[in-house]
């Protein structure tokens, strides 16, 4: 890392060096801006938010081409990633897989796959999405940003911010491990992924009461966890018609308390997290690992997977979140802006995090590489905030539909198809060379309308609907997505196995 002199002036000071901060920093540098990125901790470090998607990969390739950053292209497909950066660990993610478990019963599938659903997101391993081992990927992206000319400081924390109104600039006093440093900058970007920095320095507030989704999580990484597909084969489940191996996907194990994510990396390491629907079950405050084991002990097929597993050295323990849903009341002000992942979060159910962050980077770059006239930037930031709030609202409703479906798998799979209808529509727009103004087309009144209608219908029938109510609402959802359904979603003949929803990239 280059040494930084006291009093240096920058165009941008980016606070936080997760993948979002590093990608934005590198793009700004390539656009001719002078950039300083600071990190309170050090890399490599543990983080979750590991599941990429076709939308994320599309945006990575677009940024790679626009800003001459070929490494972003190389990590947008599994095959090229393995050839280019085999030491940067990721996992193969061919799609989204869902399995419904019942307490006290071994999971057993049937030939109609009535308790499982697989949705392919790519046609083959070569062009597959990936699960990111964030400790590796974030570190890699920081190094690439530094290679491009971004100045970078670790173990650095802002102690004081002063606004120089006459110069329209910030004066930042930064505390380092063994010195104090003062720099000036025109813009501060909050890339911390936490509301704390903006709350402290820009007076923002965190809001969550208006979210429909109400969930929390506890999670870790495991060594030695068994593969789910191996257990299915041992139990005689029919998997010969699967489009991919379920462990090579974003694996969702649905349980009465909520669901468990399982994301596997090519080394065998497994990211696993228990996401609790707080309307059904609140974490009781006991030791997280004890609570985890208590929950999975009720589901024999899941308990078997972890019989010989141990918590990985990183993070070395279980971590807990409290309520996941949050949003800043403001995401920009004079000389500052918060990135998407800092501004708000809903839930990991649909793996929207990486793509949502990257879509926000595109919008910020459009503002920062354009005319920086005050009137124009203010207009740009107003639109940025408006779209971000609409996007979070739409993601929330998409997720809340799935939670409102409760333990009824037919309603869950019908509800999850609203998300896939939205993603396919968005992907097709980008393939036509368009850049939708809103992530997942959150401004599309037809799409958002049917999602809200479905949520209201699910809440109306309650937690114990009759078979007739389930059948009627499932058919309603099938009809509602019809105008957006170019991928054969909810086709009964597919028996919950979707091989060809993936767009050709």
**Strands 35-38 and 90-93, bridge-based pairing:** unpaired
| Interatomic CA distance for residues 326 and 332, integer angstroms | 16
pLDDT of residue 276: 97
CB 243 within 8 A of CB 94: yes
Q: What is the pLDDT of residues 411-432, one digit of tens each?
A: 999 999 999 999 999 999 999 9
Dihedrals φ, ψ of 120, to 5°? -70, 140
Residue 264's nearest CA partner among 97, 494, 32, 30 is 97
CB 134 within 8 A of CB 49: yes
Alpha helix positions (H), 148-275:
196-202, 228-234
Burial class (CB in 10 A: 0-12, 13-18, 19+), 386: middle
Q: Say yes or no to pLDDT of 303 above 70.
A: yes
Q: What is the pLDDT of residues 155-204, one digit of tens each?
A: 999 999 999 988 889 999 999 988 899 999 999 999 999 999 999 999 99
pLDDT of residue 394: 99
pLDDT of residue 59: 98
| Interatomic CA distance for residues 98 and 125, integer angstroms | 20
| Interatomic CA distance for residues 228 and 247, integer angstroms | 6
Model confidence, pTM: 0.97
Average pLDDT over residues 5-31: 97
pLDDT of residue 281: 81
Residues 6 or more apart from 254 whose CB is under 8 A from it?
98, 99, 100, 101, 407, 409, 412
CB 223 within 8 A of CB 51: no
pLDDT of residue 178: 84
Q: Say yes or no to pLDDT of 85 above 70.
A: yes
| Interatomic CA distance for residues 164 and 167, integer angstroms | 6
More confident residue, 491 or 374: 491
Residues 6 or more apart from 327 whose CB is under 8 A from it?
206, 207, 208, 211, 343, 344, 345, 389, 392
The three-state secondary structure class of 163 is strand
CB 321 within 8 A of CB 214: no
Average pLDDT over residues 15-44: 98
Residue 252's nearest CA partner among 140, 128, 412 is 412
Q: Per-residue confidence at 477, pLDDT binned at 50, 70, 90?
A: very high
| Interatomic CA distance for residues 170 and 336, integer angstroms | 9
Q: Say yes or no to pLDDT of 348 above 70.
A: yes
| Interatomic CA distance for residues 395 and 85, integer angstroms | 32
Tokens 């650095």, located at residue? 156
Tokens 């993610």, located at residue? 93
Tell me the domains of the chain and their CATH numbers. Answer: 9-85+133-207+330-369 (3.50.50.60), 91-128+214-323 (3.30.9.100), 394-498 (no CATH)
Q: Say yes or no to pLDDT of 338 above 90.
A: yes
pLDDT of residue 166: 83
Query: Quick one: what percent of the chain has pLDDT higher than 90?
Result: 93
CB 144 within 8 A of CB 93: no
Dihedrals φ, ψ of 414, to 5°? -65, -40
CB 505 within 8 A of CB 121: no
Backbone torsion region of residue 158, taken as left when φ is above 0, otherwise alpha when ψ lies between -120 and 50, otherwise beta: beta
Residues 6 or more apart from 22 whose CB is under 8 A from it?
37, 138, 141, 142, 144, 145, 150
CB 99 within 8 A of CB 107: yes
Assigned token pair, 169: 């600039």
CB 357 within 8 A of CB 339: yes
More confident residue, 480 or 283: 480
CB 222 within 8 A of CB 316: no
Q: Say yes or no to pLDDT of 504 above 70.
A: no
Q: What is the pLDDT of residues 441-471, one digit of tens each?
A: 999 999 999 999 999 999 999 999 999 999 9
Other C-beta atoms lying within 10 Å of the C-beta of residue 247: 22
Q: What is the pLDDT of residues 353-396, one digit of tens each?
A: 999 999 999 999 999 999 888 899 999 999 999 999 999 999 99
């Amino acid at each position: 890392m280059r040494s930084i002199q006291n009093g240096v002036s920058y165009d941008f000071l980016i606070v936080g060096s997760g993948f979002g901060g590093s990608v934005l920093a590198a793009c700004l540098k390539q656009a001719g801006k002078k950039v300083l990125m600071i990190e309170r901790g050090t890399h490599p470090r543990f983080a979750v938010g590991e599941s990429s998607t076709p939308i994320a990969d599309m945006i990575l390739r677009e940024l790679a081409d626009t800003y001459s950053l070929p490494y972003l292209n190389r990590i947008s497909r599994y095959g090229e990633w393995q050839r280019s950066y085999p030491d940067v660990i990721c996992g193969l993610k061919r799609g989204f897989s869902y399995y419904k478990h019942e307490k006290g019963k071994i999971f057993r599938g049937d030939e109609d796959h009535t308790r499982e659903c697989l949705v392919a997101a790519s046609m083959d391993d070569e062009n597959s999405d990936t699960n990111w081992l964030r400790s590796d990927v974030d570190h890699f992206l920081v190094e690439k940003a530094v290679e491009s000319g971004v100045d970078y400081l670790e173990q650095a924390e802002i102690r004081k911010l002063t606004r120089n109104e006459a110069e329209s600039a910030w004066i930042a006093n930064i505390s380092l491990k063994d010195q104090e440093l003062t720099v000036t900058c025109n813009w501060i970007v909050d890339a911390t992924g936490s509301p704390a920095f903006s709350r402290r320095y820009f007076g923002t507030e965190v809001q969550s009461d208006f979210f429909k989704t109400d969930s929390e999580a506890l999670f870790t990484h495991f060594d030695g966890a068994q593969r789910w597909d191996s257990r299915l084969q041992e139990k005689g489940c029919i998997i010969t018609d699967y489009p991919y191996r379920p462990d090579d996907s974003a694996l969702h194990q649905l349980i009465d308390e909520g669901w468990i994510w399982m994301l596997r990396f090519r080394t065998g390491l497994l990211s696993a997290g228990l996401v609790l629907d707080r309307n059904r079950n609140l974490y009781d405050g006991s030791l997280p690992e004890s609570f985890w084991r208590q929950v999975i002990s009720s589901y024999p097929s899941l308990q078997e997977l972890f019989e010989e597993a141990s918590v990985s050295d990183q993070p070395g323990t279980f971590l807990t979140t409290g309520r996941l849903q949050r949003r800043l009341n403001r995401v920009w002000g004079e000389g500052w802006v918060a990135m998407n992942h800092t501004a708000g979060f809903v839930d990991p159910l649909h793996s929207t995090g990486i793509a949502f962050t990257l879509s926000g980077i595109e919008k910020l770059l459009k503002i920062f590489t354009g005319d920086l006239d005050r009137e124009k930037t203010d207009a740009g930031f107003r639109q940025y905030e408006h779209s971000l709030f609409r996007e979070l609202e739409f993601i929330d409703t998409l997720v809340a539909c799935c939670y409102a479906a409760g333990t009824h798998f037919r309603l869950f799979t019908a509800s999850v198809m609203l998300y896939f209808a939205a993603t396919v529509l968005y992907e097709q727009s980008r393939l036509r060379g368009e850049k939708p103004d809103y992530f997942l087309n959150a401004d599309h009144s037809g799409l958002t309308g049917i999602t809200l209608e479905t949520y209201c219908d699910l809440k109306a029938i309650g937690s114990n609907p009759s078979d007739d109510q389930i059948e009627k609402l499932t058919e309603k959802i099938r009809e509602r997505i019809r105008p957006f359904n170019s991928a054969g979603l909810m086709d009964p003949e597919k028996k919950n196995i979707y091989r060809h929803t993936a767009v050709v990239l």
